[in-house]
Structure 1
Amino acid sequence: MSTNQMMTLLTEMVVFVKVVETGSFSAAARLLGSTPSATSRAVARLEKVLGTRLLQRTTRKLRLSESGHAVHARCLDMVNAAQAVMAASSQLGPEPQGLVRVSVPKAVGRFVIHPHIPDFLARYPKVDVQLRLDDRYVDLIDDQVDLAIRITDSPSPGLMGRHLIDIDHLLCASPQYLQQRSTPQHPHELKTHDCIFLGEEPGDARWKFQQGGKRVHVQVRGRYAVNHTGARLDAVLRNLGIGSLPFFTAKHALQQGQIVQVLPDWQFQPHYGGQAWVLYPPTRHLAPKLSAFIHFMAERLAQEPRLHQRSHLPLPYELPEAQG
């Protein structure tokens, strides 16, 4: 391939990346100062040279083909590398700027990520953030998302990522409720209490505990089930029973003494637990705006208190070394 042919191919790769980023030929054309037909022809030429279909076209949307995913990752590397070269030529260095689109589960977004957004925006005045709170599975390419924060113990092998924080869970109740109904000393005593649980599946009312080598399963009951952690916290504060909560939802009320941990000597094991990871498509050249967001959140969350299983009070902790 001649140098001129390669230069043309590089231009078409940039067009292809922009089409994937925007989700349409017309939107990409507006950003590139071109026309939809010219943009479509550029992608068609790239497909012809590579000998493979990159995009599956329908009347409503564009989707990457299987080979398109692999080609897009390499083209994105090229675009990010070019941006890094341009940034390195500046005396100010690679200053983060632009829009960061982040998908995150609703509760984690509200209680874990959102509280740190004001400080992030203050530190990086040229970066904007679009935080999408959504509990459904989000495809980074199809849903036009830069970063996805997911709760998982096994991050997708097709993505790169960094561990942010463990999602610890606990049982808690208000001091008033425990004064009226007594404080359980063993998981089996929960059978005589009103318990507040997720309520989406039958297994949500079957609570699991571990203490050393001992494992205990308890079928609990209660008059109130709700699939929102903020609502369960409010129910606990209103003395409705013993609730299952992620620690990030309960920590402020625990610190203020409004609620206390129940059965602190037992490890509560919900089936919806895991770790929070920030994930993104494979690349060797992460855009400065994305790198800034990831490092900022990892730094802040490393300073967050963590649940200490044998105490009613949260204690400081060290986050395991981040990966990715």
Structure 2
Amino acid sequence: MDRITSANVFVTIAERGSLAGAAEALDMSRAMVTRYLAEMEEWAGARLFHRTTRRLSLTSAGEVTLSRCRELLALAGEVATAGDPGAGEPRGLLRVACSQFLSQTALAGAMVGFLRRYPNARVDLQVDNRAVNLVEQRIDLAIRITNALEPGLIARRLGECRSLLCAAPSYIAEHGLPSGPQDLARHNCLTYSYFGKSTWQFTREGEAPAPAAEAVEVPVGGNLSANESMALLAAAGKGAGIAMQPRFAAQPMIDTGVLVEVLSDWQPQSLGIHAIYTSRQHMPPVLRAMLDYLADWFATDPGWLSAA
């Protein structure tokens, strides 16, 4: 059997955490993946994985072999690219994780554009409101909106998510408009429980001759919180209270009069949009293409920019 393919199968099993995951990623049968692994273990002269009913883990020989196989595949890729300019064309399956909110309001459209540009690529969009473990859940790329990335993560900033405050006209008619951020303490504020403490941050550009931005932090609270932002947006539209929402999500409801913007002269804290992945080394062409595409999409897409 082809040793280069055996090495690629072995590396994919290690990265995906299972034979089934490797079979899916490589579009092979489970039996073929098993045969290639056996070939790889015969070539290495050692058992490469500890096998249990629930998971695989590398043996000490497997750790050494994994490093050498990655070097081998990198060299093989360089040879192929030298002779064929199309050898590095993005192809294969990419598993992308994001929140329900982000998938419905932005990423679903971006994925369509990516797949039109790269017809040999495939995307499996995994929607989960929790932060995922990329290795354990076999995720190639996670997209998160946050300003608090955990230390040690490999991430690329793709863009910025600007927010606004909004409420339904019925809520404003009953409770009035706040005149400043401090007035939010007496309003029913719909909070996102994923962020933990409910403190909203605002800035406002000062007027000449003092143009520096004025910053304010306001503790807020109310009778409804959720770990999914779209639930809060829907509740705000029904008159439940004041919500802080990404501008690109709330703007269509403001344009139709379902919501009105609150404290428009104050800017809520913006959040970074980050792509998180496992390694910068030996990055598959399809992953590199996705990172570049999303960075360009967030910077140039007219629909995104008009609401951001």
TM-score range, shorter chain: 0.7 to 0.9
Contact persistence 2:168–2:239 (CA under 8 A) = yes
User: Residue 80 of structure 2: SS of its match in structure 1?
Assistant: helix
Residues 177-256 of structure 1 mapped to structure 2, 5 A cutoff: 177-199=171-193, 203-204=197-198, 206-211=199-204, 212-221=213-222, 223-256=223-256
Moved more, 171-180 or 61-70: 61-70
Q: CA deviation at 1:169?
A: 3.0
Contact persistence 1:80–1:287 (CA under 8 A) = no
Residues 302-317 of structure 1 mapped to structure 2, 5 A cutoff: 302-304=299-301
**Are positions 1:123 and 2:117 aligned together?**
yes
Contact persistence 2:140–2:277 (CA under 8 A) = yes
Contact persistence 2:203–2:266 (CA under 8 A) = yes
For residue 207 of structure 2, what is the aligned residue in structure 1? none
Determine the C-alpha separation between the residues in 1 that align with 2:144 and 2:247.
17
- Cα distance, 1:218–1:289 mapped onto 2, change above 3 Å: closer
For residue 298 of structure 1, what is the aligned residue in structure 2? 295
- Cα distance, 1:58–1:150 mapped onto 2, change above 3 Å: farther
Determine the C-alpha separation between the residues in 2 that align with 1:70 and 1:263.
59
CA RMSD of aligned residues (A): 3.9
- Cα distance, 1:14–1:260 mapped onto 2, change above 3 Å: same
Moved more, 273-282 or 104-113: 273-282
Determine the C-alpha separation between the residues in 2 that align with 1:27 and 1:219.
44
For residue 136 of structure 1, what is the aligned residue in structure 2? 130
User: Residue 197 of structure 1: SS of its match in structure 2?
Assistant: strand
**Are positions 1:288 and 2:285 aligned together?**
yes
Moved more, 275-284 or 149-158: 149-158
The one of 252, 271, 274 equivalent to 1:277 is: 274
Contact persistence 1:171–1:243 (CA under 8 A) = yes
Q: CA deviation at 1:64?
A: 5.0
Consecutive unaligned residues of structure 2, counting only runs of 5 or more, are 205-212
- Summarize deviations over 1:146-194 as a string: whole Å, max 9, x none: 2222334465675544211223333211344324432211122223323
- Cα distance, 1:261–1:128 mapped onto 2, change above 3 Å: same
* Partner AA of 1:217 in structure 2: V
* Partner AA of 1:282 in structure 2: S
Moved more, 129-138 or 81-90: 81-90
- Summarize deviations over 1:101-120 as a string: whole Å, max 9, x none: 11223322222211222222
TM-score, length-scaled by structure 1: 0.72
Determine the C-alpha separation between the residues in 1 that align with 2:33 and 2:260.
62
Identity fraction in percent? 31
Contact persistence 1:158–1:281 (CA under 8 A) = no
Determine the C-alpha separation between the residues in 2 that align with 1:220 and 1:195.
5
**Are positions 1:23 and 2:2 aligned together?**
no
- Cα distance, 1:83–1:245 mapped onto 2, change above 3 Å: same
Q: CA deviation at 1:33?
A: 7.1
Moved more, 125-134 or 233-242: 233-242
Determine the C-alpha separation between the residues in 2 that align with 1:135 and 1:71.
36
- Cα distance, 1:122–1:114 mapped onto 2, change above 3 Å: same
For residue 261 of structure 2, what is the aligned residue in structure 1? 261
Contact persistence 1:20–1:141 (CA under 8 A) = no
Moved more, 81-90 or 181-190: 81-90
Determine the C-alpha separation between the residues in 1 that align with 2:9 and 2:245.
47
- Summarize deviations over 1:49-101 as a string: whole Å, max 9, x none: xxxx9755433111357997797466446425534543553364533222111
TM-score, length-scaled by structure 2: 0.75
Contact persistence 2:189–2:242 (CA under 8 A) = yes
Determine the C-alpha separation between the residues in 2 that align with 1:184 and 1:210.
16
Determine the C-alpha separation between the residues in 2 that align with 1:25 and 1:134.
24
User: Residue 220 of structure 1: SS of its match in structure 2?
Assistant: coil
**Are positions 1:170 and 2:171 aligned together?**
no
Determine the C-alpha separation between the residues in 2 that align with 1:120 and 1:306.
16
Aligned residues: 295
* Partner AA of 1:300 in structure 2: W
Determine the C-alpha separation between the residues in 2 that align with 1:274 and 1:246.
9
Moved more, 106-115 or 252-261: 252-261
Contact persistence 1:172–1:243 (CA under 8 A) = yes
